Structure 1
Amino acid sequence: MVLDNSSRFAPLKTISLQDLRRCSAEEKDKLVAAATEDGIFYLDLTEDLGNHRLVDILGGIYGLSRSIFNLDLDEKMQYDVDKIGELKLNGYKPISRNIGGIKGQRDGFESYAIPRNGILGFNPFLHPAVVDVHLPLLRDFTLTCIEISQDIFAALSSSLNLPASHSFDSFHRPEAPCPDIIRLLKYAASGPGNHEFRVPQTPHTDLGSLTMLFADSPGLQIKPDGSEEWLYVKPKENHAVINLGDAMSLWSGGLYHSVLHRVASLPGKGMAERYSFAFLMRPENLAPMVRLAPGSPVLDNEKVLTSEKWIQAKFGVLRGETNKDCDSILIGRELVVLG
C-alpha cells in the first residue's frame, strides 16, 4: 500500500461493483491488487444505490440498530451472546465486557449479532420482537450481500485459476447453512469535555472470508503490512468497506491477506457516538480449510478441517484452548502451532 504522508487516512483502492459485473479486466486487476497488497478496499455501490432499493435497505438497518440498542438493558441481556452459543452467532454483547484497545481500558461498544441461518429460515433463533418486524429487510440485506460477494469471489478465484469445484464462490452458496452474521455496533461517546484518545475495540483480523462494513462516520483504522502507523479509513458516501478475512489468506496461501484493524477516536477529540453494521461472511460449514490450488488433494485428506471445525479451533486458540484434531491454525497473519 502506498501511503499518503499528507494525511492520516489510508488511500484505499476503489472497486466499482458494476464494472466488476461487466467483467472489466481493469476492474478485476484492481481488485486482485487490493486483495494482495492491502486486504481492504472501497466498493463503489453508486449505480446500485441509484435505484433507491439499497438506500432503503441500509437506512432500515440503521433504524433497526438504534431500536435494538435503545431497548432496556434487562431485555437486551435476555439475548446474551455468550449464553446463546459458543461461536457468538446470535445475541447481545454489553459494553465493557471485554478488554479494550488500550491497556487498562475495557471495550467501549455494544454489539448485536443476527445469524444468517436464522434470517433465511434454516433454523429458528432467539431474538427480540423488534427483529421480527425487520426480518424481510434483514433477508433483503443478507441476499444482497451474498450476491455482491459472489462477484468478488468469482473474480478472485479466476485470478488463481481455481477450478469450479474449489472456487471461493463454491464455498459460499446461498442455499447452504453457514455461520455468517449481521453485526450491529454502537460505540459509546466520551463524556463532555473528555478529549482523551480512545481505542474501544482491540486490534484484530476477521476470521471469515469477507466483511462488508457500512459506516457513515470515521473511526475505523488499519495497520498496513510493514507499517507501525495506524491509518484512518475515511467513510465514503455510497461505498462499503470490504475487508478480506483469514479464510481468504489461508485458501490463497497468503497471496491474499487479512488486514489488522480497530476502531479509535479521532486525534484531539473524544469518541463520538458511532453506529455501524457489517455483514461477516464465513465459509459454509463443510468447506475445506486448506490452501486451494488446481490438483491439490483437498477433500481426500482426512486431516483437513471443515470450516465449522476450523472456526471452532480458532475460537479455542483465542481462548487459550488446544485442539487435538489439528496441528496448526491460522490466526490473522500468523500460523499458530497447537500443543
Structure 2
Amino acid sequence: MATSESVVVSKSLPTIHLNLLRAENVTESKNLLDACRTHGFFYLDLTSDPELCKLWKEMLRIMENYFKQPLDVKMQDARGSDNFGYEPIGNEEGPNPKTRDGYESLKFSRREFLKGSSDLTTSVRSQENHFFSFIEHAHSITLMILSHLSSQLGLTGASRFEAHHADPGPSLSTLSIMRYPEHEKRVGDTTEAPCNVGHNKHTDVGSLTFLLAAQWGLQFLSLTTKRWEFIEPRPGHAIINVGDSLRFLSGGELASVVHRVVPLQETQDEDRYSIAYFLRMNDGGVFSDTTGRTWTADEWHDFKFGVFKNPSALDAKGQFLTGMMIPESEELLGSEGQKAIAT
C-alpha cells in the first residue's frame, strides 16, 4: 500500500484530444497508436465537448444520492450479474493480503440501453436516461478510437477492430458506476488495517475502458518505468486504457496493462467515485491468447470474472487476472519494484 511518503505519480502518459480525433487529424491518430503501443493508458481531453463534461457532473450528483441510501434499499437493485444491477462491497479479493475489495457498484449494460430499460426497481430508474446517454457517448467515442487504430495498423474489412463490435451484437459492454467509501475513523492508537480496500490488480476483460474519475486512487504498472505509478485525475479528461481482447486481437501490438485501485494513504479518507464504460467485443467473437488458446469474447469474460472472485485459489500465478501478463518475481504482489511482461 502506498503512503504519502512513497507516492509515485506517472509523468509519462500522453494526452489525446477528442476534437482532433473527430476531425480525423492524422498526426493525432498516429499519437493515439503510439500511446496504445507504448503505455496502454492515455488521457482523452474532453473539454471540446461541454455536453459530455456537463453529463459527468450530473451523473456524479445522482451517484452520490444513490449510494447514500441504506444497503437494503440498494440491494433491491441486485441482479446477481456482472453486467447489470447493484453489487455491494466485498465480492472479490482485495489488493492486499487478507482483504476484500473496497467498492460498491451499480451497472447498466448496453443491452439494457438498446432495449430502453434497466429493469431496476429503485428510484434511480427514473434517472437512468443520464446513464444511457453516457453509454451512447462513450460507445461512440470508443468505436471511433478503434477505427483510428484500425486505420493506423492498415486493417481492412472484417479484420478492422470496430467490425468485432458492430451492432446488433450482442455484447457484454457495460457501464459501471462505483463508490469506494471512506474508511471509518479509528478511535485510539490502533494499527488494525481496514478489511475492504480498493480493487485488486488486473487487466480489463474487454477492448477499451473509458474512465471518468476526479479523485486519486488509480495506479498502473508502467511499461516504461516498471513500477506502480498513480495516474493523476485531471478535470475535463477521461482516462482510456486498452483491454485484453484488443491486445489479443492486435497480436500483442497494443498493450493491456496491469492496474489497480488503492488509497493514497493507508486508508480511504473520502468517498471516491468513478464512472467506467467497458467496451467489449460481440459475444462469439474469437481471439487467441498468448499461449495460442482460442476463446470467444463471452467465454473470456465469464471465465475471468469467475477468477476475480477468488484469484488466490483459481489463479495463484496471476496469469488470467492480469490478462496473460506474468510477474518476473513475486514482488508483483507488493507495492514497489514490480514488473509485468508478455508471455
TM range (shorter): 0.7 to 0.9
Q: Which residue of 2 aligns with 1:254?
A: 252
| CA gap 1:45/1:125 in 2 versus in 1, 3 angstroms | closer
| CA gap 1:253/1:277 in 2 versus in 1, 3 angstroms | same
CA distance in 2, matches of 1:136, 1:315: 27
SS in structure 1 at match of 2:204: coil
Answering whether residue 99 of structure 2 is matched by residue 105 of structure 1, we say yes
Q: Which residue of 1 aligns with 2:131?
A: 138
Amino acid at match of 2:184: G
2:202–2:323 contact (8 Å) kept in structure 1: no
**1:165-180 alignment, distance < 5 Å:** 165-180=158-173
SS in structure 1 at match of 2:179: strand
Answering whether residue 40 of structure 2 is matched by residue 42 of structure 1, we say no
Answering whether residue 88 of structure 2 is matched by residue 94 of structure 1, we say yes
**1:234-249 alignment, distance < 5 Å:** 234-249=232-247
Q: Which residue of 1 aligns with 2:274?
A: 276
**1:7-18 alignment, distance < 5 Å:** 8-11=8-11, 12-18=13-19
Q: Which residue of 1 aligns with 2:108?
A: 114
Amino acid at match of 1:43: L
CA distance in 2, matches of 1:270, 1:79: 26
Answering whether residue 190 of structure 2 is matched by residue 200 of structure 1, we say no
Q: List runs of 5+ in structure 2 lacking aligned partners.
A: 1-5, 312-318, 327-343
**1:20-59 alignment, distance < 5 Å:** 20-49=21-50, 53-59=51-57
Amino acid at match of 2:322: G
CA deviations 1:134-159 (Å, max 9, x no partner) are: 23222221111111112200111112
Moved more, 161-170 or 191-200: 191-200
CA distance in 1, matches of 2:287, 2:148: 20
CA deviations 1:50-96 (Å, max 9, x no partner) are: xxx21332122212222321222112223334x3x3xx111222123
Q: Displacement, 1:227?
A: 4.8
Amino acid at match of 1:32: L
Q: Displacement, 1:235?
A: 0.7
SS in structure 2 at match of 1:278: strand
Q: Displacement, 1:104?
A: 1.6
1:205–1:260 contact (8 Å) kept in structure 2: yes
CA distance in 2, matches of 1:311, 1:29: 30
CA distance in 2, matches of 1:335, 1:234: 24
SS in structure 2 at match of 1:289: strand
**1:246-325 alignment, distance < 5 Å:** 246-267=244-265, 270-290=268-288, 305-316=295-306
Q: Displacement, 1:25?
A: 2.0
CA deviations 1:280-336 (Å, max 9, x no partner) are: 111112322248xxxxxxxxxxx9543223323434555689xxxxxxx96534179
Moved more, 156-165 or 234-243: 156-165
Identity, in percent, stands at 30
Q: List runs of 5+ in structure 1 lacking aligned partners.
A: 1-5, 292-302, 322-328
Q: How large is the RMSD of aligned CA atoms in angstroms?
A: 2.8
- Pairing partner for 1:160 from 153, 158, 161: 153
Q: Displacement, 1:247?
A: 0.6
Greater relative contact order: 1 or 2 (C-alpha under 8 angstroms, separation 6 or more)? 2
CA distance in 2, matches of 1:105, 1:304: 33
CA distance in 1, matches of 2:320, 2:147: 23
Q: Which residue of 2 aligns with 1:218?
A: 216
1:211–1:245 contact (8 Å) kept in structure 2: yes
Q: Displacement, 1:224?
A: 1.3
Q: Name the TM-score, length of structure 2 as normaliser.
A: 0.80
SS in structure 1 at match of 2:20: helix
Amino acid at match of 2:302: Q
